[in-house]
Amino acid sequence: MKAKVNENCIGCGTCIAMCEKVFKFNDNGFAVAKDEDLTDEEIEEVNNTIPMCPVEAISINKEEKKEEDKKEQ
């Protein structure tokens, strides 16, 4: 799972203040999420951050398992 910040971001910094392991400012002053799978701890922190975003710009993407992983199951 990965965190995502959409185009609604206004750059208020709430997500960064609450979860700096996952979020940071880009060069334009808007928040972006790291492009890595989240740890269980980070998932919990992001879930706590989501309702605090004033423009509902944060989400967690549950990615489909890779085709190779599906075949193994």
- pLDDT (0 to 100) of residue 73: 47
In the chain, beta strands by DSSP E: 2-5, 23-25, 31-33, 58-61
- pLDDT (0 to 100) of residue 62: 84
Residue 68 pLDDT class (50, 70, 90 cuts): very low
Per-residue pLDDT reduced to its tens digit, 34-46:
999 999 999 999 9
Per-residue pLDDT reduced to its tens digit, 51-64:
999 999 999 998 75
CB 57 within 8 A of CB 6: yes
**In whole angstroms, how far apart are CA 29 and each of 9, 11, 21, 32, 44?**
10, 6, 17, 9, 25
Q: What is the pTM of this model?
A: 0.81
